[in-house]
Homo-oligomer: A and B are copies of this chain.
Amino acid sequence: MGWCDAAGEPLSAGGGKAVRPALVLLAAKAVSRVDDAVTDAAVAVELVHNFSLIHDDVMDGDEYRRHRPTVWSLFGVPTAVLVGDALLTAAQQVLMAAGHPAATRALAELSSAVQHMLHGQAMDVSFESRQDVGPDESVAMTEGKTAALMRCACVLGALYAGADPPRTAALGDFGRHLGMAFQYVDDLLGIWGDPARTGKPVWSDLRARKKSLPVVAALSSGTAAGRELEQLYHAQGALSDDQLATAAELVALAGGRDWARDRAERHLEDALSCLDAVDAEPQARRNLVAVARLVADREL
């Protein structure tokens, strides 16, 4: 979970933002007074999130996350695969252990979200060897890879609070739109983010030639800048810093940056308007809005 360093010494920071468990707790509070049982659901969602990060880092070969070396880069691929498997299994054990009346439905939602995440990651992996990925596919990939678990977090909170189906659905939609906004912002930060804040090297997504949302939009824009970007993306060998700066500029020139910003803003607005259908408890609503702004309004 990132609470210790590689030698097992406790760390005071670095465990991530815990957005998803916050969403579980706030979604529950939005609906009713919350008992302690909902923390099981929050823990389960965070375990699934960490499972997916650890396995994704193996698949993507990413050496850093949250300013720190990834599990596989410290302990090897076999250990990272095993740790991910154990976290996924533990998530389900935590959810089922207490025998909460909502646990069985929550587990079905969580497992369905996991399958969507895996499908999204499988699409992402396949994009690497394809040159014809369009924005629609890229958005569908994001629905699975990022939005499914944020949606699930809110649905689980609602289920544990005994929400009726319409409020549960509205909270789920809030989470889904928030997840989409989150990923557009994350992809923008993957190109233009401040390394000191993102914990990743500058231009890291371009360096790895990732087909992130703004890049796909640029590549399929039909513009001269898009075609130039395509040539850079398909060039042999590593890209120099000059080439990376050019690539970033081409993404912007081809409209990828504006498109991604616009989509992020629209999803954030849609998320916030979903809260109207929830008829949320006022303090929980304010906190949900604050989390939404935290993840979707990061310095762009």
Question: Which residues of A does B touch, CB under 8 Å?
Answer: 55, 58-60, 76-79, 81-82, 84-86, 88-90, 92-93, 96-97, 99, 104, 107-108, 111-112, 114-115, 118, 121-122, 125
Contact = CB atoms under 8 A, between A and B. Distances in A.
Contact of A89 (B58, B111, B125): B111
A96 B79 CA distance: 29
Contacts of A115: 86, 89-90, 93
Given A79-B122, A89-B114, A89-B118, 10 more contacts: A55-B81, A59-B81, A77-B77, A78-B125, A81-B84, A82-B121, A88-B89, A92-B107, A92-B111, A93-B115
Given A85-B55, A118-B85, A93 B111 contact: yes
A213 to B, nearest CB: 20
17 contacts: A55-B81, A55-B82, A59-B82, A79-B122, A81-B81, A81-B84, A82-B118, A82-B121, A82-B122, A84-B85, A89-B114, A89-B115, A92-B107, A93-B108, A93-B115, A96-B108, A99-B104
Contacts of A89: 88, 111, 114-115, 118
